[in-house]
Amino acid sequence: MKIVHSLLGFLLTIFFCNIILAQNAGINFYKNLNQLPYLFAGDEAFYLSSYDRTGGNDDGFRGTYSELYQDKNGEHVIFEAKKPGCIYNLWGTGPHRIADWGSLRFYFDGEKKARLQINTDDLFSGLKKPFLFPLAYQTYVSSGGYALCAPIPFAKSLKITTSKKPYFYNVFYHLYDNVDLKSWTKNIDYAPVMSRFRSCGYDPKSTPPDSVVRKVVKLAKNSRSRENAKATLLQLNHGGCILSVKINPLYSPDPFNLNHIRIKISYDNHSEPDIDVPIGPFFGSGLGEAEVKGLFVGMSSSGAYYCFFPMPFKQGIKIEMENSSYDSGGEFFSEIGFTKKYPAKVTGAEIGYLGAKYNRAWPAAGKDDYRLFKYAGKGTVVGQVMTVEPVKPEMKQWWEGDLRIFIDDSSQARFNGTGHEDEYQGGWSNFWMSNPYSLPLFGLPKATGLKNIGGQLNGSVTVYRFWPGGIPFRKWIKISTEHGTENKKTANYSSLVFFYFLPEF
């Protein structure tokens, strides 16, 4: 009887304390987003695209690199993996903003007959079960691109083919060593993902806060003495986890304000802030207020700015805002929710701190990529915000620059994109810039100063993308992008990257 009671007590403890027993992957990733800070061994992220292998700009215009190979049945293989994994994003586009890949076939776990066969329109329309909106987007929703955000898990292997060769495409996916996955079936339940995607602006995590601290703070404006230029939103001297950070300007901030008022976060008595970045990019826009409805961060001109990335700390935390210029400042309402419980330990995983790194190059010029982020250590990148502002209207086509991500010991980029529109899941620059969009995992929420230059629009854009499951690294990571094909264009770039990290000490 004592044994039964002990076992029952253990199970109840697991249930009520929300202890995690294994890594969540596939749909389960979205069921427990409290697990974002956990760094697991045996988890790797990859990106497959139709990029020009010669370094030029033939990234899908002619379909030169738009397949891995053609199989014996004459089908065009666009994806193949031979270990457990999950596709988290699948994107494509084609001439005249039409992605016509014909019939797609998904072969799971070595099966000879495709378990899933679906035509392109049905896959991305958002109207065909189980790939309903907001899991799938067609060109008028994702502004020039066709995107699928429904996780496609596979237990042993997955091969995807098309009956027609596609043009532009990319796939973001994970491969796992120690995760027990069940392969996709037609009865898969996407309800947990859909409910979170439909509720952007509300905390998608399952744990409610123990406490909420609300206050109004005022940052001095035009103060050359720098007095009252900093305000503390929250300071705690115990362990726990921040679950939400919200602020609401009680005035109308302009873009300069939001790029010169900074949020600073320090964990566990670290000597320097672990986060020290402008609030605009931190909440999703580098071009001032915009309607950002991301799953993890967002903002609105008529409501609160929010960040729902969990922020664990062991001994204490301090969250501040500071006016870093003579011309910014104003009054803000803040609301921070937290729990006094530090996340539970999990065998085979380490718990990281949330970091955010801001960078800019005004302008990005010369032969080298613009660098969004470089970090030596162990962690995982979970998202990025990037802003591009042309130096002059005639200097266009910077958007043809490709994303490149180098991880650990790789001599070649593990991620290689096909242009800014594509990496942020849109497509075709004119349509992309003139139709802002904000979706749970990616968006272009704002474009300004658009001018038609010889039939092509040019202007400033701010974009964001989150990576489900993150991009893990064990030694180092570098994220960069070309500014135009082969870095032949000049523009002003700025960026913010969200990541979880383990400190060196």
pLDDT digits (tens, 9 = 90+) for 391-446: 999 999 999 999 999 999 888 999 999 999 999 999 999 999 999 999 999 999 99
Phi, psi (5° rounding) for residue 348?
85, 10
Q: CB-side exposure of 277: number of CA atoms within 13 Å?
A: 25
**Alpha-carbon Rg of the chain, whole angstroms?**
23
- pLDDT tens per residue across span 460-498: 999 999 999 999 999 999 999 999 999 999 999 999 999
Phi, psi (5° rounding) for residue 132?
-90, 160
pLDDT at 223 (0 to 100):
56
Residue 360, pLDDT > 60, answer yes
pLDDT at 6 (0 to 100):
42
- pLDDT tens per residue across span 306-349: 999 999 999 999 999 999 988 888 999 999 999 999 999 988 89
Are 119 and 253 in the same domain? no
pLDDT at 134 (0 to 100):
98
Pairwise CA distance, residues 84 & 154, whole Å? 6
pLDDT category of residue 94 using cuts at 50, 70 and 90: very high
Phi, psi (5° rounding) for residue 13?
-60, -45
Burial state string for 193-227 with b = 16 or more CB within 10 A and e = fewer than 16: bbebbeebbebbbebebeeeeeeebebbbeeeeee
3-class SS at 25?
A: coil
Are 42 and 173 in the same domain? yes
Host domain of residue 482: 353-502
Are 362 and 275 in the same domain? no
Q: Report yes or no: 352 and 340 within 8 Å, Cβ to Cβ.
A: no
Are 498 and 447 in the same domain? yes
Q: Which residues contact 25 (CB under 8 A, 6 or more apart)?
A: 86, 153, 174, 176, 179, 181, 469
pTM: 0.94
Are 328 and 363 in the same domain? no
Are 52 and 187 in the same domain? yes
Residue 266, pLDDT > 80, answer yes
Are 414 and 459 in the same domain? yes
pLDDT category of residue 181 using cuts at 50, 70 and 90: very high
pLDDT category of residue 226 using cuts at 50, 70 and 90: low
pLDDT at 207 (0 to 100):
87
- The tokens for 215 are 């206050």
Pairwise CA distance, residues 286 & 292, whole Å? 11
Domain edge (last residue) among 278, 309, 339: 339
pLDDT at 173 (0 to 100):
98
As to burial, measured by CB atoms within 10 angstroms (0-12 exposed, 13-18 middle, 19+ buried), residue 86 is buried
pLDDT at 148 (0 to 100):
98
**Stretch 279-290: mean pLDDT:** 98
Domain annotation covers residue 205: no
Domain edge (last residue) among 277, 305, 339: 339
pLDDT at 261 (0 to 100):
96
What is the SS3 string spanning 83-115?
CCEEEEEEEEECHHHCCCCCEEEEEECCCCCCC
pLDDT at 327 (0 to 100):
83
List the one residue out of 84, 253, 101, 87 whose CA is nearest residue 155: 84
- pLDDT tens per residue across span 31-61: 999 999 999 999 999 999 999 999 999 999 9
Domain annotation covers residue 93: yes
Q: Report yes or no: 298 and 200 within 8 Å, Cβ to Cβ.
A: yes
pLDDT mean across residues, the chain: 93
Domain edge (last residue) among 339, 369, 403: 339
Are 255 and 370 in the same domain? no
Q: Which residues contact 187 (CB under 8 A, 6 or more apart)?
A: none
Q: Report yes or no: 378 and 406 within 8 Å, Cβ to Cβ.
A: no
Are 376 and 233 in the same domain? no
Are 44 and 152 in the same domain? yes
Pairwise CA distance, residues 449 & 458, whole Å? 8
Using DSSP, how many helices (H) and how many strands (E) does the chain show? 8, 36
**Stretch 241-270: mean pLDDT:** 96
Are 286 and 422 in the same domain? no
